Amino acid sequence: MKILAFESSCDETAVAVVEDGRHILSDTIASQADMHALYGGVVPEIASRKHVEVIAALSAQALRDADCEKKDIDAVAVTYAPGLIGAVLVGLSFAKSVAFAWGKPLIPVHHVRGHIAANYLAFPELEPPFLALAISGGNTLIVDVRDYTDLRILGATRDDAAGECFDKAARVLGLPYPGGKPLDELARQSEGGIYTLPRAHVDSAELDMSFSGLKTAVVNLAHRAEQTGRPLDRAALARDFTNAVSGELVPRAMKALTLTGYKTLCAAGGVAANSIIRADLKASCKEMSCKLYLPPLSLCGDNGAMIGAQGYYEFRSGHTAGMDLNAYATRNIDA
Ligand code: KG4
């Protein structure tokens, strides 16, 4: 089954063709990061406009790359939530038009389900059940993936997402948007151990996380250094900050493995590209004799193929939608 898949929930327009949920036939992407870098973050209205400009040409490219035309496509999958509402609406409206004009089924896909499904594209042997650590710019979740379309949240951030925290920390360190990758590179230049940063603990919810205190602490440290003229060891701060984020995520993922009894963990989302978090996950999973799946960097960030992968399993579970399908800025992964 060949699915034409659309993703437009933030600042990447992405269209892909995926076969049977596991094989990427094409995966096109138009990033707007350079444009938003001028403003230090994503400007929602600009994101929507840029999606409108490129989505038709990108779709044609995705079909060409996959050597497919209308008759070869069996269904259309699209991110319908969560994300910047104007941005999601562009992809959704376009996908609806294609599905309607071509008479194909329309499959709604939750964006974070898509991130987790990126692992199905990279690892043919992977099947639920397993535990997923989904860490992106807008979401930070520990998820019990009971089956392809039966997912339950075990833990979540109570405030900022891990990626949002990376982007803000990077900004005060003078790094360009999106800051996760440059901060990762800076952090690798130091062993850290210089700055003491807060660790959060949520009473009676041991798998829940919090990143806002950490974010504020880094912002305050940088501002204080600026005001007093005291030099800031930027690389050490980047390293200590990354260790603190990893210290929130990795032990909780391990705790979730213990609580569920699962022996398989999958990472997902843009922050799963972080080299220090990847190393910490590898070390901890080895210690616990658990199998770890880390998607290749190309499948960590937003892409269309992951929507095609999850779309296949949603279709198999009978999850299709009519032309009244709406976009949602927020939506639980287990809704
Ligand atoms: O998954 P993604 O592309 O978009 C969302 O679904 O939100 O994630 C984007 C986030 C950004 O916050 C970006 O700074 C972060 O992932 N990111 C990283 C790294 N590469 C991207 N964060 C830490 N280390 C990285 N190497």
Q: What DSSP letter does each residue of 98-125 carry, written as one string? A: HHHHHT--EEEEEHHHHHHHHHHHH-TT
Helix 234-260 × helix 275-287 angle, to 10°: 40
Quick check: CB of 136 below 6 Å from ligand 1? yes
pLDDT tens for residues 143-162?
Answer: 999 999 999 999 999 999 99
pLDDT band at 183 (very low <50, low <70, confident <90, very high): very high
Nearest residue (CA) to ligand 1, atom 14 = 180
User: What would the pLDDT profile of 39-64 be if each residue is shown by its tens digit?
Assistant: 989 999 999 999 999 999 999 999 99
pLDDT, tens digit (0-9, with 9 covering 90-100), for 7-45: 999 999 999 999 999 999 999 999 999 999 999 899 999
Given this model, what pLDDT does residue 202 score? Answer: 85
- Is-same-fold flag (2-116+299-316; 128-297)? yes
The residue behind tokens 């900050």 is: 241
Cβ 40 vs Cβ 57: under 8 Å: no
To which residue do tokens 């287990």 refer? 334
Q: Beta 2-7 vs 12-19: how paired, if at all?
A: antiparallel
Average pLDDT over residues 303-322: 98
| CA separation, residue 42 to residues 14, 33, 120, 219, 243 (Å) | 17, 8, 29, 19, 26
| Average pLDDT for 113-133 | 98
Note the pLDDT of residue 192: 97
Please say if the pLDDT value at position 114 is more than 80. Answer: yes
- From the options 3.30.420.40, 2.40.50.140, 3.90.199.10, 3.30.70.260, give the CATH code of 128-297: 3.30.420.40
Yes or no: say if 21 and 313 are a contact pair by the CB < 8 Å rule: yes
CA–CA separation, 132 and 113 (whole Å): 10
- pLDDT at position 186 is 98
Q: CB of 114 closer than 6 A to ligand 1?
A: no
Question: What is the residue extent of each domain of the chain?
Answer: 2-116+299-316, 128-297
* 271 token code pair: 């922050």
Is the shortest distance between the CB of 295 and ligand 1 below 6 Å? no
End-to-end CA distance of the chain: 26
Give the 3-state secondary structure of 119-172: HHHHCCCCCCCEEEEEECCCCEEEEEEEECCEEEEEEEECCCCHHHHHHHHHHH
Superfamily of domain 2-116+299-316: ATPase, nucleotide binding domain (3.30.420.40)
The CA distances from residue 1 to 14, 187, 250, in Å, are: 20, 43, 36
Ligand 1 atom closest to Cα of residue 273: 26
Residue-wise pLDDT tens digits, 248-282: 999 999 999 999 999 999 999 999 999 999 999 99
Q: Which mutation among 110, 111, 115, 136 tests ligand 1's pocket best, with the greatest number of atoms within 8 A of CB?
A: 136
CA of 137 to the centre of ligand 1 (A): 5
